[in-house]
């Protein structure tokens, strides 16, 4: 097993519970999205202009998201998944149960992303409000 980097040492992060970290990261993400929207609307000339700009750029956002999904999927398949499978192979049952749960989780993620993107495309095409 490779050596972990110094910043990863568990004692360094022990004061953070998982929920505090989860909600803290969500708060940062929400704050960054609000700042990006505020700056974008100021640069576009107002909130209505910002909305019109985002509507015109929708096909490019879809292409960007699909590219992002492909890059993350390739990284997962080539780098992260083999590491996960190697680590679960040391389980008592040889990793059979963990591999089953991993396959189910992978399918669930693909279904959720495909459903969200389908609704985005339908909304762009005028099928839903």
Q: What is the pLDDT of residues 62-111, one digit of tens each?
A: 889 999 999 999 999 999 999 999 988 888 888 899 999 999 999 999 99
**CA geometry: angle at 29 spanning 12 and 81, to 5°?**
65
Contact criterion met (CB below 8 Å) for 47 and 109: no
Cα separation, 77 vs 83, whole angstroms: 10
Q: Given pLDDT bands bounded at 50, 70 and 90, which one contains residue 122?
A: confident
Residues 6+ apart with CB under 8 A from 37: 50
Q: Given this model, what pLDDT does residue 13 score?
A: 66
DSSP state of 127: S
Residues 6+ apart with CB under 8 A from 84: 102
Question: Comparing 3 with 105, which gets the higher pLDDT?
Answer: 105
Contact criterion met (CB below 8 Å) for 122 and 128: yes
pLDDT tens-digit profile of 11-39? 776 667 777 888 889 999 999 999 998 99
Question: Comparing 56 with 78, which gets the higher pLDDT?
Answer: 78
Using the predicted structure, report yes or no on whether residue 129 has a pLDDT greater than 70: no
Residues 6+ apart with CB under 8 A from 113: 69
Q: What is the mean pLDDT of residues 55-64?
A: 86
User: Rounded to two decimals, what is the model's pTM?
Assistant: 0.64
């Amino acid at each position: 097993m490779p050596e972990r980097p110094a910043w990863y040492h568990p004692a360094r992060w022990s004061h953070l519970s998982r929920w505090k970290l989860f909600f803290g990261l969500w708060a940062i993400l929400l704050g960054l999205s609000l700042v990006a929207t505020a700056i974008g609307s100021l640069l576009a000339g107002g909130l209505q202009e910002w909305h019109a700009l985002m509507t015109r750029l929708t096909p490019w956002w879809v292409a960007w998201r699909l590219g992002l999904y492909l890059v993350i999927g390739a990284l997962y398949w080539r780098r992260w998944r083999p590491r996960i499978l190697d680590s679960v192979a040391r389980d008592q049952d040889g990793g059979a149960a963990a591999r089953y749960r991993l396959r189910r989780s992978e399918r669930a993620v693909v279904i959720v992303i495909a459903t969200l993107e389908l609704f985005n495309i339908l909304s762009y095409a005028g099928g839903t409000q």
